[in-house]
A and B are shown apart, each in its own frame.
Chain A
C-alpha cells in the first residue's frame, strides 16, 4: 500500500490526466464486452459464459482481415460482423435449445464452446501468441495534456467506444426495436402475444452482443497479444462489471466498466499489490449496499 504516492498523484495534474485516460480506456473496452453480457442476460436471463470467446474471435478475425487488407478500419468491421454472425449461429444452433434448461446446463454448453473455440483458434492460428502491430496511422508520438501523456491510439479508442456506447444507448432507448427488446426482458410472453417473434428478438440480442464483443476484440487487438484463451480474463471482469452495474442494465455496464477502469488505474498507484483485489472489493461493497447492482432492478 502506498497512500502517499496516491495522494501525490491526486494532487498532480499530469498524473490525473494520465491515470484518468488510462482508466477510461480500460473501462470503455471492457464496456463493449460487458454490455453484450448484460444485454443477453437482461433479455434472455442467460449467463453467456462464452462471451469472452466472442471477444477472442473478434481479435483473431481482425488479425486475419488486417493481414489481407492492411486496413485497420476494415479489420475492425470484419471482426464485428464476423462475430455477430457467429453469435447468431451460436444462439440458433446451441443456446436456443437450452433456454428452458437449468442454469447448469446453459453453463455447460457455454463452457464446452469455450474449450472448442480455444482449440479451434490453436488449430487455425497456432498455439503461440500473435501480435497485431500498431497500424501506421497511429504510430505517432503521444499527446501531452497538462503534463499527462495520452497515446494517439487511445484517443481514437476513447472516441470510437464512446460513439458505439451512444449508438447502443439510442437504439435501446429511442427505437421501436429497443422498446421490443426492453419489453422482452420484462415480459416475453406478452411480447409474443402481441405477434412479435421472440425467437428473432433473442437471436438479434446475441447478434448485437457478438457485434460488440467482436468490435472490442478488433479495437483492442493492436495493443493486446492474441492467444488462445485470451477471453478468460475479459469474461471475469465483464461479470464483475455486470454485477456492479446491475444485471441486464446497459447503462449500468457503462458505469460499472468505467468504475473498474478507474479503480485499476488509480489503484495501481496506491495499492500496487492489491489492484485485482480492489475490483472484487468494489463488487462486494456494491453487493452489500445494493444487491441488485447500481442500475439493477430488484429481482
Chain B
C-alpha cells in the first residue's frame, strides 16, 4: 500500500502540468516550474505482518517532522511529499521499492525505516543510484562502521549496536560487582541483530568485569510464539543473571511467560529493549527490577523539551512515542536542516552538510545530537540503563552512559574489527 503525505495536486498544478506538456509539444521556450515542485521522499518500512508496529511508529516520527517543515513553507516553497510503502519485512522487496522510488517516482531522498536485513540491501541501492539515504531503524553497527559498506550519500539516525553494547556492558558489570553476579546466560533472537547484540554485550560485560562466566545460551527464532522451552532451559541452567535483546511482541511474551515461572525472583534480568512505551504499556503486570536500556522515555533525558515532545506526540497520535519514533524524527530533522542550510536538494551538497552536523534535539545529551562525519552515524543521543517499576514513569532512574567511554571503546572495537 502506498501512503502519500503532502499536498494534493491543485487545479493550478494540473494547468501547469498541461502547460509543461504543451511546451514540450509546441517547442516554446523552456520555462522552469521546478521551484514549486514537491521534494519527493520515499520511505520503505514494514506495515504488515508481525513487524507492522515498526512502520506505524516510524512513519509517525518522520511524517510529523515533514508536516512541520511543510507548514513552515518548505524549502523555498517546495514542500516534502513523503511516500510510504510496505516492504512486508522482506529485504528483496525493500530493495525493489527503494529502486522504484528513485527510478519511477522521482524521489530525491530515501528514508529506510525497515529492518537491519533490509538496510544492507537498501544501502546497495543507495550506493548505486547516489540518492541521499537515511537509515532510520537499523542498529547493526557494521552498516556505517565498515568502510566497505559505508557510502558518501548514506547516513544512520538510529542508535547503534556497539554503543548499546558498551553502555550495557558497563552498567551490567557494575551491577554484577555489586550483587556478585558471576554466572550469566544469553537469550536473544536468532538473527543478525540478536547475535550481534548478544556477542557484543557479553564482550563488554567481560571487559568491565573479568569474573563473568557465560554458562549457557538460548536462541529463540524471531517472532517465536512460545518461549516455554527457552525458559525451562534457563531454569535448568540456573544462571544468576540473563541478558536478552528480544524486542516487540516477542519481549512481552517472554516477560508474561517468565512471570508464571517466577523467573524474575530467581535471577537478575537485563533486557535492553524493555524501556520503550510499546512494551512498558503492553505488559499488564510489569515486574519490578528488570534492568533495561533506555529506548525511548519521556523522562530521559529529563528535560522540558523531551517531555514536551512526548506530550505533543501523544496528543497528535493518541499513543506513546517509541524508539522508532525518535529515530525517524531525528533522521527527518537532519535532512531538513541540511536542505535548509544548503538551500538545495542536491544529494552531494546535502550529504556534505549532514557530515558532522549538530542539531538541536530533545533526544540528545544537552539537547544536541551530532551526525559524526567520519562514519555517518549519530552520536551524543541520550542513552542509559535503569530498573523497571510497574507504573508510570516505569524506569524512574536512568543512569546515563558516558559518551567518552563509548567513543574510546568504539575506536578499539573498530580497530579490532579492521574497520580502521
Contacts and interface: CB of A to CB of B under 8 A. Distances in A.
Contacts of A232: 49-50
Nearest to B237: A5
Interface in A1-58: 5, 9, 12, 14-15, 18-19, 22-23, 25-26, 29
Interface in B221-277: 221, 223-226, 228-233, 235-236, 248-250, 252-253, 256-257, 259-262
Given A225-B249, A227-B249, A128 B278 contact: yes
Interface string B93-125: 000000000000000000000000000000000
B284 A227 contact: no
A66 B187 CA distance: 31
Nearest to B223: A233
Nearest to B278: A128
B410 interface: no
Contact of B233 (A25, A139, A269): A269
A129 B249 contact: yes
B232 A265 contact: yes
Contacts of B257: 223
A91 interface: no
Given A149-B235, A229-B50, A269-B236, A139 B225 contact: no
A98 interface: no
B236 A14 contact: yes
A169 interface: no
A234 B225 contact: yes
Given A118-B48, A142-B260, A225-B249, A129 B235 contact: no
A225 B252 contact: yes
A276 B216 CA distance: 19
B270 to A, nearest CB: 19
Nearest to A136: B285
Interface residues of A, number: 54
B48 to A, nearest CB: 7
Nearest to B46: A127
A228 B48 CA distance: 8
B232 A19 contact: yes
B232 A128 contact: no
A138 to B, nearest CB: 7
Given A127-B53, A153-B260, A26 B228 contact: yes
Interface residues of B, number: 43
B232 A228 contact: no
Interface string B188-231: 00100000000000000000000000001111010111101111
A268 B229 CA distance: 6
Nearest to B253: A225
B229 A275 contact: yes
B358 interface: no
Contacts of B253: 223-225
A134 B260 contact: yes
B250 A22 contact: no
A265 B225 CA distance: 14
B55 interface: yes
Interface string A106-149: 00000000000011001000011111111000110110000001
Contacts of B256: 131-134, 222-225
Given A128-B278, A276-B221, A26 B284 contact: no
B225 A142 contact: no
B236 A131 contact: no
Contacts of A268: 218, 229-230, 232-233
A119 B219 CA distance: 30
A142 B224 CA distance: 23
B283 interface: yes
Contacts of B52: 122, 127, 227-229
Contacts of B216: 5
Contacts of A132: 256, 284
Contacts of B47: 127
A269 B231 CA distance: 11
B112 to A, nearest CB: 19
A224 B226 contact: yes
A199 interface: no
Contacts of B218: 268, 272
A151 interface: yes
Interface in A215-233: 220, 222-230, 232-233
A200 interface: no
Interface string B273-296: 000001000111100000000000
Contact of A134 (B219, B223, B231, B259): B259
A22 B229 contact: yes
A105 interface: no
Contact of A224 (B53, B190, B225, B248): B225
A93 B323 CA distance: 43
A223, A230, A267: most-surrounded residue (chain B CB, <10 A): A223
Interface string A143-176: 0000001011110000000000000000000000
Contacts of B261: 142, 149, 151
Contacts of A225: 248-250, 252-253, 256, 282
B232 A18 contact: yes
Interface string B49-68: 11011011000000000000
B190 A22 contact: no
Interface of B: 47-50, 52-53, 55-56, 190, 216-219, 221, 223-226, 228-233, 235-236, 248-250, 252-253, 256-257, 259-262, 278, 282-285, 319
Interface of A: 5, 9, 12, 14-15, 18-19, 22-23, 25-26, 29, 118-119, 122, 127-134, 138-139, 141-142, 149, 151-154, 220, 222-230, 232-234, 264-265, 267-269, 272-273, 275-276
For the complex of A and B, list the 9 residue pairs with the smallest distance between their C-beta atoms, beginning with the closest: A133-B284, A129-B249, A225-B249, A151-B260, A229-B49, A127-B52, A268-B229, A127-B56, A22-B232
30 contacts: A5-B216, A22-B231, A22-B232, A23-B229, A118-B48, A127-B53, A129-B248, A131-B252, A131-B256, A131-B283, A133-B285, A139-B285, A141-B262, A149-B235, A154-B260, A220-B226, A223-B253, A225-B248, A225-B256, A226-B249, A227-B52, A228-B48, A229-B48, A230-B50, A230-B249, A264-B229, A269-B236, A272-B233, A275-B229, A276-B221
Given A132-B284, A142-B261, 15 more contacts: A22-B229, A25-B228, A129-B282, A131-B282, A131-B284, A138-B260, A141-B262, A149-B261, A223-B257, A225-B249, A225-B252, A225-B253, A226-B249, A229-B48, A275-B229
